[in-house]
Structure 1
Amino acid sequence: MLLGRTLALYFSGRFLKAILGLFLLAAVLIFLFDVLELVRRGADREGFSVLRVSLISLLRVPLLLEQVIPFAVLFGSIAAFVSLSRALELVVTRASGISVWQFSMPALVVGIGIGVFSITVYNPAAVWLQQKSDEVATGLFGTEQNFLMQTTNQVWIRQDGLDGESVILAKQLLNGGTRLLGVTIFAFDHQGTFQERIEADEADLGKQIWHLKNATVYTTERDPQQYATFQISTFLSATQVRESIGSPESISFWHLPQFIDLARNAGLPAYRYALQYQTLLARPLLLAAMILIAAAVSLRVSRFGGLGGLILGGIIAGFVLYVLSELSKDFGGAGIVPPIVAAWAPGIFGVLMGLTILLHQEDG
Structure 2
Amino acid sequence: MSQKNETLSLFLAAVITIGFIFGGLWFFMERWAQINGIPKPSETGNTSNISNPLNQFINKCNVANLPEGTFNYGGSTTWAPIRKEADSVLQSLCPRFILRYTQPPSGQPGSGTGIRMLIDNQLAFSQSSRSVKAEENAEAKQKEFSLKEIPVAIDGIAIAVNQSLNIPGLTVAQLKDIYTGKITNWQQVGGPNLPITVYSRSKEAGGTAEFFVENVLNKENFGANVSYINTTTEAVRKVAASPGGIYYASAPEIVPQCTIKSIPLGRTSGQFVPPYQEHFIPPSECPNKRNQLNSQAFRSGDYAITRNLFVIVKQNGQTDQQAGEAYANWLLTPQGQELIEKAGFVRLK
User: TM > 0.5 between the two?
Assistant: no
**TM-score calculated relative to the size of structure 2:** 0.24
Which protein shows a greater Rg? 2
Higher share of residues assigned helix? 1
> 1 or 2 for the larger relative contact order (CA 8 Å, sep ≥6)?
2
**TM-score calculated relative to the size of structure 1:** 0.23
